[in-house]
Structure 1
Amino acid sequence: MCQIFTSADPGLYASRARSIRLRGVATSLRLENVYWQALEEIGRRDGLSVPQLVSRLHDELDEAGALGDGANFTSFLRVTCTRYLQLQLAGLIPREAGAPIRALDARAVLAGERDWRAAARATQG
């Protein structure tokens, strides 16, 4: 089992920092390459560069009041990438890279996610 994971290209889990402006302030974000790749894919779906996507996510998270004390924005980005892939696997986000995220009905996706997670919990026991 572990060979499936341990034989991954080391470049995927190598991390790199990128300088990005958030609300006009230059900051450095360090993520593993696999997360940068996922952010590129997410942004590309809506015609956004990674800095534009990250800035938009930051602003929306801040507007929602979720960037309070102790918030870890890089952890949020990792979770965003993971949820993106999970939602694709669940069929709640189309796998076709040409389908924009902004065109999706967020309420329907979130309701579908709740149902999907509840069904997964029920099968686990």
Structure 2
Amino acid sequence: MCHLFAHQPQRDYESQTRSLRIDGHCTSIRLEIAFWDTLEEIAARESMSLGKFLTTLYNEVLDHHGEVNNFASLLRCSCLIYRSRNMAPVQEFKSAVTAILDAAE
């Protein structure tokens, strides 16, 4: 199992700081490149620029919770949710998932 994680491209977990405008305010966000790639993919699927997508998400969180705590962590978790719903399980884990589901029946 560690082979799967240890052999991922180093580029994916290098961090990158980007300066952006969210709802007209300048800010910087530091995330791993894999998360930036995923956010760009999500924005494209929504037919938005990355800045527009982040502004929309920020405003929706603000409307729902009244404040936005740790936006970078929110973005990482959003990417994980997106990936978990849009990616097929890795082949090595398919049999384990099947076994768990069979045992639950």
The sequence identity of aligned pairs, in percent, is 35
AA paired with 1:46? Answer: E
**Structure having the higher Rg:** 2
Structure 1: stretches of 5+ with no match in the other structure: 91-119
* Mapping for residues 96-115 of structure 1, pairs under 5 Å: none
Could you list the runs of 4 or more consecutive aligned residues of structure 1 that deviate by over 2 angstroms after TM superposition? none
1:60 corresponds to 2:70? no
| C-alpha deviation, 1:89, in angstroms | 4.0
The count of residues paired between Structure 1 and Structure 2 equals 92
* Equivalence map 1:43-122=2 (5 Å): 43-65=43-65, 67=67, 71-89=69-87
Gaps of 5+ in 2: 89-100
TM-score, length basis structure 1: 0.66
CA RMSD of aligned residues (A): 2.1
> Normalised by the size of structure 2, how large is the TM-score?
0.78
Counterpart Cα distance in 2 of 1:31 and 1:13: 9
How far did residue 66 of structure 1 move?
5.1
Select the structure that is richer in helix.
2
- Per the TM alignment, residue 47 of structure 1 is displaced from its structure 2 partner at its CA by 1.2
Q: Which amino acid aligns with 2:36?
A: W
